[in-house]
Amino acid sequence: MRLNGTMRVNKKGHLEIGGCDTVDLAGKFGTPLYVLDEDCFRDICRDYNSSFTRKYNAEVIYAAKTLLNLAVCRMVDEEGLGLDVVSGGELYTALKAGFPEERIYFHGNNKSPGELDMALKAGVGRFMVDNMYELELLERLAGKCGQKARVMLRLTPGVEAHTHEYIKTGQIDSKFGLVIENGQAMQGVKRTLEMNNVELKGLHCHIGSQIFELSSYSYTAEVMMDFAGRVYRETGYCVEELDLGGGLGIYYAEGDRPGSVQDYAGIVMEAVLEKAAHCGIPVPKVLVEPGRSISGPAGTTLYTLGAIKDIPGIRKFVAVDGGMCDNPRPALYQARYEACLANKVGEPPAEVVSVAGKCCESGDMLIWNIELPAAEPGDILAVSCTGAYNYSMSMNYNRLPRPAMVLVNGGRADLITRRESYEELVKNDLMPEKLAKK
Ligand SMILES: *Cc1c(COP(=O)(O)O)cnc(C)c1O
C-alpha cells in the first residue's frame, strides 16, 4: 500500500497516521472507523492555493459532496477555499459550521424551490444554474425576496473525459448543463442577461471525475473560452468568471497515474490566457472545484477482520466488519483500493486474498486479489484513499450503523463524527396504534 500524507510505520510495526497508532485508534473508537489525516488534507488545500490562487489569482472551491461534516467545513474555511454544495443538507451543514455565505457556490441539476429559497435567504455567493427551468424559477424567487441572485450558467462543453461512464458529465448526452453545440447555452446566456433579479457572473462546466489526462482540461478550457468569445461578439457581455469544475484524478492502486496540481494549474491557465488573447476578450477569473483530490488521499478506513473462508484452489475470502455500506464505490463502479494489515505492516506478503464486506450482497466486495501477510481474525485492515465519496455515500443497508470519523494530527485523535447508534437507526420509525404491542 502506498503511504499517503503523514502515514508511517512505527516501532511496533503498526501503521501510524497523524502520529496515532491505527491499532490503538481501532481499539479506542471501534471499527469500521474513518480516519482523516488533518495535515494531509490541509497540505493539499495549500498546494491548490499556491498553484492556482497565489500564482494566477484563480479561486479554489472544495467540492463538499466528497466529504463533509462540521469539522471539515472549518478546515476548508481556515484554508481560505470556497465551498461547493449541491443540496439543502450540504448548505445547512456549511451554515451550521459558520462557513462564510459569500464563499458558498450552490450546484445541482434539480434544486427544489425550497432549497433555492434557503440559499437566497442565506445569501450564498453564487447559484450555479443548471437549466432553463431553474433559471426562470430563480428569477421569480429572487424577485419575491427582493434580491439579486448572482449566477453562473452550467454548460455542457461536449468533452468526453476518459473515465467511468457514471462519473463523466461533459458529453452532450448528460443530465447536467446547457449544451453549447445545439444553441441552448447561448439561449440561456441571452435570457439571463434580460432578467431583473438575476445577475450573470460567468460560465461553469465540469467534465467528470478521476481524470488523469490533463489535456482534457486544456481542451475544455479552450471550448469554454471560444464560447465566451462568441458571447462577447453576439451580446457584448464579457464573461467575468470561468469555473472549470473539478475532477483531478488520484492514485488509488497500481496503474493510476494522476497529474500534479501544479501541472493541472499550468495547463488550464495557459489555455485560458492564450484563448483570451486569441478571442480578444479580457481574461476571466478562473475557478476550479477539486473534491476527490483534496479529501481522497487524506482518508483511511480501518476495519477488523472476522470470518476467513478458504475455497482451496479457488479463492480465500477475508471478511471485514463493514463494506458497501461505508464504501459503496467498488460495488457501484468497480473502484479499486489498496490496503494493508495495520498491525502487521512490517511483515512480508504471504498470500493473495479477496476482501469481502458483511452486507447481504455477493457484490459487496471491497478488494479483489490483494497480497497481504498471513491474515487472522482480529487483524486490523487499513484501506487507503477512502476520504472521498465514502462517508458521503455511506448508507444503512442491512441496518448497519454508519461508522465514526476521527481527525488525527500530532498524535492526537479528535472524534468529528460519532458512530451511529442502534437507537438512532430506529429514531424515525413510528408505530401506528393498530400495530402497537398491547
Ligand atoms: C463532483 C463535482 C466536483 C468535484 O469533482 P472531483 O472529481 O471530486 O474533484 C466539482 N464540481 C462539480 C460541479 C461536481 O459535480
Task: Name 415's bridge partners.
Answer: 406
Q: What is the pLDDT of residue 158?
A: 86
- Rounded to the nearest angstrom, the distance between the alpha carbon of 344 and the centre of ligand 1 is 36
On the question of pLDDT at 165 being above 60, the answer is no
Q: How far is the CA of 61 from the centre of ligand 1 (A)?
A: 10
What is the atom index within ligand 1 of the atom nearest the CA of 388?
Answer: 8
SS3 144: helix
How do residues 96-107 score in pLDDT, each as one tens digit?
Answer: 999 999 999 999
The closest of 75, 74, 72, 69 to 90, measured between CA atoms, is 69
Which residue's CA is minimally distant from atom 7 of ligand 1? 247
Give the helix ranges, DSSP H, for 79-198: 88-96, 113-122, 132-145, 184-194
**pLDDT at residue 356 in the model:** 98
SS3 33: strand
Q: Is the pLDDT of residue 186 over 60?
A: yes
Alpha-carbon gap, residue 38 to 249, rounded angstroms = 20
pLDDT value, residue 159: 81
- DSSP assignment string, 148-169: -EEEEEEEE-----SS-GGGB-
- C-alpha of residue 208 to centroid of ligand 1, in Å: 7
The 3-state DSSP class for residue 422 equals helix
Q: Which atom of ligand 1 is nearest to the CA of 389?
A: 8
Tell me the CA–centroid distance for residue 244 and ligand 1, in Å. Answer: 10
Which of 110, 289, 293, 392 gets mutated to test ligand 1 (max ligand atoms within 8 A of its CB)? 289
Q: Whose CA is nearest to atom 10 of ligand 1?
A: 246
Question: Can you give the pLDDT at residue 167?
Answer: 55
Q: Ligand 1 centre from 164 Cα, in Å? A: 14
Out of 65, 159, 175, 287, give the residue to mutate to test ligand 1, the one with the largest number of ligand atoms within 8 Å of its CB: 65
**Closest among 29, 31, 1, 3 to 319, alpha carbons compared:** 31
141-150: long-range contacts (C-beta < 8 A, 24 or more apart)? 141/113, 141/116, 141/117, 142/197, 142/198, 143/196, 143/197, 145/117, 145/120, 145/121, 147/120, 147/123, 147/197, 148/197, 148/198, 148/199, 149/120, 149/197, 149/198, 149/199, 150/125, 150/126, 150/199, 150/201
**63 alpha carbon – ligand 1 mean position (Å):** 6
pLDDT score, position 146: 94
Which atom in ligand 1 lies closest to the alpha carbon of residue 209? 7
Distance CA 387, CA 368 (A): 20
pLDDT level of residue 164 (50, 70, 90 thresholds)? low
How many CB atoms lie under 10 A from the CB of residue 17? Answer: 31
Ligand 1 atom with the smallest distance to the CA of 61 is 10
**Best mutation site among 90, 130, 209 for ligand 1 pocket (most ligand atoms within 8 Å of CB):** 209
User: Residue 160: which pLDDT band, with cuts at 50, 70 and 90?
Assistant: confident
In this structure, which residue's CA is closest to atom 3 in ligand 1? Answer: 246
Across the range 15-22, mean pLDDT stands at 98
Ligand 1 mean position, distance from CA 207 (Å): 9
Summarised one tens digit per residue, pLDDT across range 228-278 is 999 999 999 999 999 999 999 999 999 999 999 999 999 999 999 999 999
Name the phi and psi angles at 370, rounded to 5: -125, 140
Comparing 165 with 383, the larger pLDDT belongs to 383
Q: Is the predicted pLDDT of residue 166 greater than 70, yes or no?
A: no
> Residue 126 is inside which H or E element, if any?
strand 126-129
Residue 344 banded pLDDT, cuts 50, 70, 90: very high
Contact between 271 and 244 (Cβ < 8 Å) = no
279 catalytic per annotation: no
Give the integer Cα–Cα distance in Å for 313 and 357: 22
Q: Which residues line ligand 1 (CB under 6 A)?
A: 63, 65-66, 84, 107, 206, 209, 245-248, 289-293, 388
- Strand order, beta sheet including 8-9: 8-9, 15-17, 20-21
Write down the residue that cell numbers 463502479 correspond to: 333
Is 90 exceeded by the pLDDT of residue 163?
no
Q: Report the alpha-carbon distance of residue 203 to residue 225 in Å, rounded.
A: 10
Which pLDDT band holds residue 162 (cuts at 50, 70, 90)? low
Q: For residue 291, what pLDDT is reported?
A: 98
- Please give the full DSSP string across 345-374, using - where no structure is assigned: TTSPP-EEEEEE-SSS-TT-EEEEEEEESP
Check 73, 340, 359, 360 and give the catalytic one: 360
Average pLDDT over residues 79-86: 98
Which tens digits make up the pLDDT trace of 21-33? 999 999 999 999 9
Task: Give yes or no for residue 293 having a pLDDT over 80.
Answer: yes
Predicted confidence (pLDDT) per residue in 193-219, tens digit: 999 999 999 999 999 999 999 999 999
Ligand 1 atom nearest 245 alpha carbon: 11
> 193, exposed or middle or buried, with CB in 10 Å at 0-12, 13-18, 19+?
middle
Pairing of β 126-129 and β 104-106 = parallel
**Each residue's pLDDT tens digit, 111-157:** 999 999 999 999 999 999 999 999 999 999 999 999 999 999 999 99
How far CA 94 is from CA of 111, 119, 329, 389, in Å, comes to 17, 11, 25, 18
Q: What is the pLDDT of residue 98?
A: 98
Q: Which of 261, 269, 152, 249 is nearest to 207 (CA)?
A: 249
pLDDT above 60 for 71: yes
